[in-house]
Chains A and B, each alone.
Chain A
């Protein structure tokens, strides 16, 4: 992730069509955006396509970007809108190959040090936990735990009080815990070992 000052400089260069700056912007946010959209829709190919489309739209409209806001906030908002449009006739369920996709994904840092089998089990648990959440809890959990956004920024983005965001986070964690308990994993050490 770029810090805000660097981000502004890169955006100013990207506005002039600087290929290097555009590449830097994409490289900084492509994986976070794809991961966010993937966990919202459960379809890796769709998430990748939507992330690319979001970048195309954002970079074409850089002249309209207000620099007092964060670029990532704008990008994620457009990505989410694209997803909502694409999902009008789809339920947010995961593909059957989702776990395999994540297990085969050598870009995930965890896989560099952990076995594919163990990662697959954790991936399955992540899927179970996320699938147990409904909107807007799912989005809040992803923005907070996956993207690392502070509560204040999430509240501003979603247009709700900070207390409501914290409440959603608390309930979402409890719901995920319940889903994990109900998942039938009798021995957690088996997963965590």
Chain B
């Protein structure tokens, strides 16, 4: 039986095939002079290392472009909104301005509420002092200073 399961009729070609396969195997091995392989490898390594920054450069440029687009987005949006505001009748230009106006309106409501609470007391106070002649500023003059009326000790 031969290498292929058949009869051993072609010993010569089979030996040659084995020799061919051995030669193939030898092709993939290192050379007897490792210095030659080393020099070739070093040359290629130098070339690859020299080219590495060039491969990084496009990535850096792409990253810069992305950052620029992201940063310019809000500015562009504001510019477009402003142009729309100028062209149209809408009075509120920005969200910030709208917020300030809302806060102003709330304050006005607060003042009105306080005024509504205080108003009746002011009316009754005015009625108490209405019998005396009004002062030069329209207020009724006070008879005694509060400190004298409330003083527990005789004057020295």
Contact = CB atoms under 8 A, between A and B. Distances in A.
Interface stretch (A85-93, A141-149, A151-159): A141-149
A174 B29 contact: no
Given A109-B32, A191-B19, A177 B25 contact: no
Interface string B26-45: 11111111001110111011
Interface residues of B, number: 38
B4 A107 contact: no
A173 B6 CA distance: 13
A130 B17 CA distance: 11
A31 B20 contact: no
Contacts of A188: 12-13, 15-16
A80 interface: no
Contacts of A23: 38, 41-42, 45
B68 interface: no
Interface of A: 17, 19, 22-24, 26-27, 30-32, 35-36, 38-39, 52, 55-56, 59-60, 106-110, 112, 122-123, 125-126, 129-130, 141-142, 145-148, 170, 173-174, 176-177, 180-181, 185, 187-189, 191-192
Given A126-B20, A180-B16, 9 more contacts: A22-B45, A27-B40, A30-B41, A30-B44, A31-B30, A122-B19, A170-B4, A188-B15, A192-B16
Contact of A55 (B10, B16, B26, B44): B44
Query: Which secondary structure dominates chain A's binding surface?
Result: helix
B17 A177 contact: yes
Contacts of A60: 48, 51-52, 55
A142 B24 contact: yes
Contacts of A191: 16, 19
A115 to B, nearest CB: 14
Interface of B: 3-4, 10, 12-17, 19-21, 23-33, 36-38, 40-42, 44-49, 51-52, 55
10 contacts: A17-B49, A17-B52, A24-B41, A60-B51, A126-B20, A141-B24, A146-B25, A147-B28, A177-B10, A188-B16
A139 B45 CA distance: 28
Contacts of A108: 26-27, 31
